Amino acid sequence: MVILTLNCGSSSAKYQVYDWDTKDVLAVGVVEKVSVGGSFINHKVKGKEEITLNHDCPSHLDAVDLIIKTLTDKEKGCLTDMSAIGAVGHRVTHGGDKFIKSVIVDDTVLAAFNDIADLSPLHNPAQILGLQAAKKVLPTVPHCAVMDTAWHQTMPPESFLYAVPYEWYEKYSVRRYGFHGTSFLYTAKRAAVLLGKDPFKTNLVICHLGNGSSINAVKDGLSFDTSMGITPLEGLIMGSRSGDLDPALPFYMMRKTGMSAAEAESALNKKSGLLGITGQYTDRRDIQKAKEAGDKKALLAQDMEAHRVKKYIGGYIAALGRVDALVFTAGVGEFAFFMREKILAGLEGIGIVYDPKKNKSSHTRNTETLISKPESKIPVYIIPTDEELVMTEDAYALMAGTYDIHTKFTYSFQSKDYVNKGRAESLKGELAKSPELQEIIALPK
């Protein structure tokens, strides 16, 4: 049996095919430029070269249909037919306060997603379209929704409430929801394994740093506080999102320029953050190159981003009282050693002492690494996230009737003996080219 996972964006559809029996990834890919013209699919089957095919996809229904046809193609695919698929897992960014765990999608669940779509206007509408499209193409298998917000439903009121009229919460569900929950669930469970601790006696600060970024304070294995808010706009400086700012600022700019509320919201989501500071870059690699070439705005963008992350790390350490580890994950957290360097520099006063050499050596998605010095009171781990595996295991368990909230459910990756076969194979090639990586591989205690 195989599990298909789908992650639909506004103009893309990512997918993975996982063989449940062999515990291995059979294929991964993405359809880009859905509904905007010039669409194409990047498709990689295990043991074969990656291919790119141009194919017009005016809608997400067309994109999902293209994925199915590619997966079952005799030459390019990995499945003889779709009967092998036992369930489909879908990423849904915002589940509001209605969902505390993953669910099988029916008409009631779809209606709930539509009701709160305005809380995540950049993500939920596309994901709903993808879900509806997949149900049309694969009508006989269970479709499961895995919400980014579900992990954070354990936050206490002092963390999730805003200091606004309380009736806003009662009438309109105004509160902090948090995101990247699937990533935080995976990395929190893996951190407990590496530390050799009971996951529900483990305190962590986890930095999920990518184009979208957030930080999670984990107390006794549960989400205690997080940097994103009612939408993914709050918190850290991101690729094109402003993160924290004076709430009066958009009103000021609306009065000054005459822009509408929709235009102000768009500016804060799509024209701010690193893009707003540099004027042209969202990718940290581009910003690093520009900085090295003497671009002062690129340097400023890096300094501002690192400063914001530092403040959250310090604040969450104070809120938790005891922290067992600091964790970096996601694209920037896993690969951008120069950003980790800026973030970690000067944190000795709060018990974090990183090793510059180890930090520079860690740029991989194929293994977990430890980059702190032995004298560091708080160890610093880099744990490559695996949201697709969480989605896969949730979907399978929902189909099998064995699933429950994570406090009552054990994932395969919580075992000390867990191995990601694809990553383990790729790591062999990495070690041949970069033997110094061996010295920083983190092993369970």
Q: What is the mean pLDDT of the chain?
A: 94
Contacts of residue 140, defined as CB under 8 A and 6 or more positions apart, other chains included, come to: none
What pLDDT score was predicted for residue 151?
A: 97
Length of the chain: 445
User: Does residue 348 have a pLDDT over 90?
Assistant: yes
Helices 124-137 & 107-115 angle (0-180, nearest 10): 160
Q: Which of 327, 392, 397, 362 is nearest to 90 (CA)?
A: 392
The better pLDDT of the pair 63, 354 is held by 354
User: CB of 344 within 8 A of CB of 354?
Assistant: yes
Q: Which of 402, 400, 445, 419 is nearest to 25 (CA)?
A: 419
The CB-based long-range contact list for 126-129 (8 Å cut-off, 24+ gap) reads 126/8, 126/9, 126/10, 126/11, 126/60, 127/7, 127/8, 127/9, 127/90, 127/91, 127/92, 127/93, 128/92, 129/8, 129/59, 129/60, 129/61
User: CB of 77 within 8 A of CB of 48?
Assistant: no
The answer to which of 55-69, 125-139, 253-267 has the lowest mean pLDDT is: 125-139
The pLDDT tens digits for 321-342 are 999 999 999 999 999 999 999 9
The pLDDT tens digits for 103-159 are 999 999 988 888 888 777 767 887 888 888 888 888 999 999 999 999 999 999 999
Band (pLDDT 50/70/90 cuts) for residue 12 is confident
For residue 191, CA distances in Å to 5, 415, 418 come to 24, 11, 13
User: Does residue 96 have a pLDDT over 90?
Assistant: no
What pLDDT score was predicted for residue 403?
A: 95
Put simply, whether the predicted model's pTM sits higher than 0.85 gets the answer yes
Report the share of the chain in percent with pLDDT over 70. Answer: 100
- 148 part of the active site: yes
The better pLDDT of the pair 119, 432 is held by 432
Three-class HEC string of 359-380: HHHCCCCCCCEECECCCCCCCE
What pLDDT score was predicted for residue 133?
A: 83
What pLDDT score was predicted for residue 442?
A: 97
What pLDDT score was predicted for residue 120?
A: 75
What pLDDT score was predicted for residue 130?
A: 82
Catalytic position from the list 148, 225, 324, 394:
148
Pairwise CA distance, residues 56 & 61, whole Å: 12
